[in-house]
Structure formats: C-alpha cells, structure tokens
Chains A and B, each alone.
Chain A
Amino acid sequence: GQQLNQSPQSMFIQEGEDVSMNCTSSSIFNTWLWYKQDPGEGPVLLIALYKAGELTSNGRLTAQFGTTRKDSFLNISASIPSDVGIYFCAGQLRNFGAGKSTFGDGTTLTVKP
C-alpha cells in the first residue's frame, strides 16, 4: 500500500522562527491534507490541497501540493507557543472514499518562548 515519509520527525525552534516540514510518497495521491494534533485531542484539519501545484494559505500556514502529486510541504511563519503539537500529513485517493487517508508519522513541534 501507500507509504508516507514525513520529515523531520521533530523540531525544536525559537518563538518567531519559521518552520518547514514535508511529506513524500511512493505513489500518487489526489488530495493532500495537513492536520495538527494537540495533546489529548484528535487531529484537526489545517489545510486541504486538491490539485497538483496548488499553494494554499491559512493565516501563518502555507501548504503546497507537489507537481508530481507525490509530495507536499507545510510552512509555518513566525511561530508562536501555541503552534506546539504534532503535525500530520495525509494523502487520499478519492476513488477510495472521502476521508480515507494514509497518514504520515507526524512531526512534533516544540516552540521555545
């Protein structure tokens, strides 16, 4: 089946710094999703990407759907302490049904004030 490689596994940054993380796949996806998970909570969707080459922003977050459809990245600008959490990428093939996602292993972000 599909496998997602998400990197880096963890990041320790200073408040105000920019963050970049990415996901690569061994196969093509039709949709890329980026989620954030806070401790004790379920993942919450940050950004959804539906077309190859698409660049989408949500506040300080920007994500891009790679042109090969096998990768995606997420950038966070001017990080703040509440950005702390685990960020997951997820890929979907639409013909397998809405919401059926393959998840990356996550990037754990720590922001030092």
Chain B
Amino acid sequence: SQQGEEDPQALSIQEGENATMNCSYKTSINNLQWYRQNSGRGLVHLILIRSNEREKHSGRLRVTLDTSKKSSSLLITASRAADTASYFCASNYGGSQGNLIFGKGTKLSVKP
C-alpha cells in the first residue's frame, strides 16, 4: 500500500502548548498536503509543500518535508482549544488525478 502513516494516532495537549504531528510516505511525491477535519465534517486544506521545498509556514502552522526520509511534520504553535480536530497528511504522487493518498490521521485534543 502507498498509504502514508501519521504519528501519533492521538495527541492530547494543553492550550498554549505546541503540537507536532508526523507523516511518513512510501514513494517519491510531487507534493505533500495537510488537511484538518472537525468531527463529522469534511476535510479542509491547510497547507501544501512541494517536493523541492523543505519548510513552509502559514500562520501558526509550520510544515517540514524530508524527502530523503520520506517524512513530513506539521507543527501547530501556541495551540488553542479550537485546534481540536483530526489532522491528515496526503501524499501526491503525480500522474493521474486520483493519486492523492491519505494517511489515517492524528486526532488532536487541545484542553483549555
């Protein structure tokens, strides 16, 4: 399976702390994307990092990509209770339009 894997599966932190989630994938990618899903809702795109990029920032989000290790990390700084959600990485292998492979997600709980 080409499916990526997030680590940890679940993460519980206090408001104000940083949250780090990791993602591994199996073959060469064009880009890697992170999505957020509130319980019972659709996914929302957060950030995309291309294979030739090593780090990207968007507000309180920081994403890194290490293509030699086939891994990515998502850091949420100064977390808030509203950040409570599941976070998914999605690996884009290029080629046909269907080649976006999602991991199983990290369930983040931020306690006030």
Q: Do A and B bind each other?
A: no
The interface of chain B, by Cβ under 8 A from chain A, is none
